[in-house]
Chains A and B, each alone.
Chain A
Amino acid sequence: MIAVLKHELRSYFHSLTAYVFGAFLLAFIGIGSLIYNLQAAVSNFEFVLSFGCLVFVVIVPILTMRVIAEERRQKTDQLLYSLPITTTQVILGKYFALLAVYLVPLAIISLYPLLFSQYGEVYLLTSYGSILAFFIMGAALIALGVFISSLTDNQGFAAGIGIAVILLNYYSVSLSESVSSTAFGSLAALAVLIIVLWFVIRYLTKNEPLAWGICLVLYALIMITAWLDDTRFEGLLPAIMTKLSLFERFYVFVNGVFDMTGIVYYASVIIFFLFLSIQSLEKRRYN
């Protein structure tokens, strides 16, 4: 794992990736603190972070797009399979390298509240609480990006899908206000989601009966639940969309609450997507 980590770090800092990522993040946060802290003279640094998290939509996919897709394109993934290291070590090594790249600009950013506190009163506790949450949210998005990169051998495709998914996640709360909250609307949305799931399972496993099996079981479950009590589905769709939003959890921290459930939520997202990435890499051995 250390070998992969060192190798990835060297490649990030030898290429532009790490610098572009850092520059974008610093520029965006810099503009934010210029507007909020300097011009509007607000003493809450966390507002800057909540403004700045939009930048993740672009920079996370750019950072993660090549992480596995490029290995596939160059056929270096074969080297990784033949070396005496496990796929778990490969994914973890790559992930920690990405976190290190992410931590460099974040370390600079975390000096800002201290700097501002020299010239006025800054709520350091909420500032640093939010920076920590900002870090973990970014880490969760990076894990998602790693997984998306592991699905394809085309960097551009990985970046495009990554931007689309994170953007959708960013706006899912605003979208949830305009979607139908009736039971029928939720049922219809679930039905569509299951069809999407069918395609995903078929793509990942190349096993049609399995995809049909899982989807039919899910349909049956929904039908039975709806038949027993269809009020359960009222407002389900907007609720799910709000719950899935990584950004919505972050605003809780911005409002000054250090929410442990949020931390646990992000940690589960990280573990979930890293697990999927390992499976995705392992799957290549079987097709």
Chain B
Amino acid sequence: MISVEHLTKCYGDFTAVEDLSFEIGEGHVYGFLGPNGAGKSTTMNIMTGCLSATAGHVRIDGYDIFDEPDKAKKLIGYLPEHPPLYMNETPVEYLTFVGEAKGLRGEELRQQIEKVIAMAGIEHMKHRRISALSKGYKQRVGIAQALLGSPRVIILDEPTVGLDPIQIIEIRDLIKELGQSHTVIFSSHILSEVQAICDQILMIAHGKLVAFDEPKNLEKQLLSSNEIVLVTDAAGDQLDQILSQVGQITAVSVGAAEERRTTAHIKTDCRDIYDLSRAIFLAFAKSDHVILEMSLKKGNLEDVFIELTEAASDGIAPGESDDAGEAGESEVGKA
């Protein structure tokens, strides 16, 4: 449906997007994830024809956005980061203009407007001035605008920013619903959001694509940050001795021993964390010490995200470096 080939965008000396290539198929919800300033908005602006590219191509259903903008843009509904609304109009007036500009006329236009107003849930607000609406409703009017003309691709740039939790949930539900009949691409820097509603995730950092996969595969890809927290009655040296019988442990840090308990954080690089916990359990059972508490911390998408974006900032391909986690700490803060 959408193919992006070797897309590059430079602002003077600054390269916002660098040699970005990916293919997006029909249907599903795609999440565009990246820290602030990663190039998400720039990429979306180029994909929708709002911005030119320094190099590369974007094709929507085979139509090049630069060479045949008319045909390509008809297939896209776009909500930019700041909803582009005319403040002194009502939603109906605004949608009428957008619909006419998209080539809808007469009865078809009227029906489409009714439909998107219902989908975006702004029936009660449709005759109020947009400037008087709350931020959440403004966002919905923006979404309604993108849905007009039922384009096959809907691109939403950070649609949930600045909304209250209930509004966020409503917008997410709407996105999920749209994903059943349209290709939806939406950007966010909130991981849980992307994780919750996307079928596929594109991670972008420093203008480069660092990952493109299903959420669960991305979690699997994470190797270095699985951790087991153990509370036991064994004292420090006994603990060390017991754990030395278990393989696959990369690091153990023993916390301060309280009266009858010791807390230990065990790091591992083994793929299946349950294998390790089983081995630890058996080792303790053999040694007549008990495990008072054991919790498994599986690496989550957040860790993948940090690892991948930091690896990109260090100029190392993801997964090649184990200590990327420490090295790039400050980079995330900056981004």
Determine if B49 is an interface residue (Cβ-Cβ < 8 Å): yes
Determine if B126 is an interface residue (Cβ-Cβ < 8 Å): no
Contact status A6-B80, CB under 8 Å: no
Alpha-carbon separation in the docked complex, A82 to B142 (Å): 13
Q: A6-B97, A10-B93 in contact; A75/B80 too (CB < 8 A)?
A: yes
Determine if B302 is an interface residue (Cβ-Cβ < 8 Å): no
From A2, A74, A287, contact of B87 by CB (8 A): A74
Q: A78-B50, A285-B50 in contact; A84/B100 too (CB < 8 A)?
A: no
Alpha-carbon separation in the docked complex, A217 to B75 (Å): 46
Chain A nearest Cβ from B91, distance in angstroms:
14
Contact status A76-B85, CB under 8 Å: yes
| Contact code string A1-28 (vs B, CB < 8 Å = 1, else 0) | 0111011001100110000000000000
Interface segment among B66-74, B186-194, B230-238, B308-316: the answer is: B66-74
Q: A10-B93, A286-B52, A287-B11 in contact; A78/B84 too (CB < 8 A)?
A: yes
Alpha-carbon separation in the docked complex, A287 to B97 (Å): 27
Alpha-carbon separation in the docked complex, A84 to B78 (Å): 11
Question: What is the size category of the interface that chain B forms with chain A?
Answer: 20 to 34
Alpha-carbon separation in the docked complex, A76 to B97 (Å): 12
Q: A11-B89, A81-B49, A83-B73 in contact; A74/B84 too (CB < 8 A)?
A: yes
Determine if A221 is an interface residue (Cβ-Cβ < 8 Å): no
Chain A nearest Cβ from B9, distance in angstroms:
10
Contact status A79-B145, CB under 8 Å: yes
Contact status B80-A3, CB under 8 Å: no
Contact status B82-A79, CB under 8 Å: no
Q: A82-B49, A83-B102, A84-B69 in contact; A74/B11 too (CB < 8 A)?
A: no
Chain A nearest Cβ from B325, distance in angstroms:
37
| Contact code string B48-88 (vs A, CB < 8 Å = 1, else 0) | 11111000000000000000011101101010101011111
Alpha-carbon separation in the docked complex, A10 to B97 (Å): 10
* CB-based nearest B residue for A1: B101
Alpha-carbon separation in the docked complex, A83 to B80 (Å): 12
Contact status B101-A85, CB under 8 Å: yes
Contact status A84-B103, CB under 8 Å: yes
Alpha-carbon separation in the docked complex, A84 to B151 (Å): 12
Tell me the chain A residues, 260-284 only, with Cβ under 8 Å from chain B: none
Contact status B84-A84, CB under 8 Å: no
Contact status B80-A11, CB under 8 Å: no
- Chain B CB within 10 Å, residue with most, of A3, A6, A11, A75: A3
Alpha-carbon separation in the docked complex, A85 to B103 (Å): 9
Contact status A76-B84, CB under 8 Å: yes
Contact status B86-A11, CB under 8 Å: yes
From A74, A76, A285, contact of B52 by CB (8 A): A285
User: What is the number of contacts between chain A and chain B, taking CB atoms within 8 Å?
Assistant: 69
From B45, B51, B84, B100, contact of A79 by CB (8 A): B84
* CB-based nearest A residue for B93: A10
Alpha-carbon separation in the docked complex, A196 to B49 (Å): 33
Contact status A75-B69, CB under 8 Å: no
Residues in B with CB closer than 8 Å to A86 are: 69-70
Residues in B with CB closer than 8 Å to A76 are: 84-86
* CB-based nearest B residue for A3: B100
Chain B nearest Cβ from A142, distance in angstroms:
21
Residues in B with CB closer than 8 Å to A81 are: 48-51
Tell me the chain A residues, 33-77 only, with Cβ under 8 Å from chain B: 74-77
Residues in B with CB closer than 8 Å to A78 are: 45, 50, 80, 82, 84
Residues in B with CB closer than 8 Å to A2 are: 100
| Contact code string B191-229 (vs A, CB < 8 Å = 1, else 0) | 000000000000000000000000000000000000000
Residues in B with CB closer than 8 Å to A287 are: 11
Contact status B69-A285, CB under 8 Å: no
Determine if B163 is an interface residue (Cβ-Cβ < 8 Å): no
Chain A nearest Cβ from B133, distance in angstroms:
14
* CB-based nearest B residue for A287: B11
Alpha-carbon separation in the docked complex, A166 to B50 (Å): 33
| Contact code string A76-102 (vs B, CB < 8 Å = 1, else 0) | 111101111110000000000000000
Chain A nearest Cβ from B14, distance in angstroms:
12
* CB-based nearest A residue for B148: A83
Determine if B98 is an interface residue (Cβ-Cβ < 8 Å): yes
Residues in A with CB closer than 8 Å to B51 are: 81, 285
Alpha-carbon separation in the docked complex, A81 to B98 (Å): 12
Alpha-carbon separation in the docked complex, A270 to B184 (Å): 43
Chain A nearest Cβ from B138, distance in angstroms:
12
Contact status A82-B48, CB under 8 Å: yes
- Chain B CB within 10 Å, residue with most, of A3, A84, A85, A286: A84
Contact status A7-B80, CB under 8 Å: no
Residues in A with CB closer than 8 Å to B78 are: 82
- Chain B CB within 10 Å, residue with most, of A3, A76, A82, A287: A82
Chain B nearest Cβ from A86, distance in angstroms:
8
Contact status A82-B76, CB under 8 Å: yes
Alpha-carbon separation in the docked complex, A277 to B70 (Å): 21
Contact status B97-A82, CB under 8 Å: no
User: Can you list 17 A-B contacts (CB < 8 A)?
Assistant: A3-B97, A6-B100, A7-B101, A75-B80, A76-B84, A76-B86, A77-B84, A78-B45, A79-B80, A81-B48, A82-B50, A82-B76, A84-B71, A84-B103, A85-B101, A285-B51, A285-B52
Extra contacts besides A14-B88, A78-B84 (9): CB < 8 Å: A2-B100, A4-B101, A7-B101, A10-B93, A76-B84, A78-B45, A84-B71, A85-B101, A285-B50
A: residues with CB less than 8 A from B are 2-4, 6-7, 10-11, 14-15, 74-79, 81-86, 206, 285-287
Query: What are the 6 A-B residue pairs with the smallest beta carbon separation, nearest first?
Result: A3-B100, A79-B84, A84-B73, A81-B50, A7-B97, A3-B101
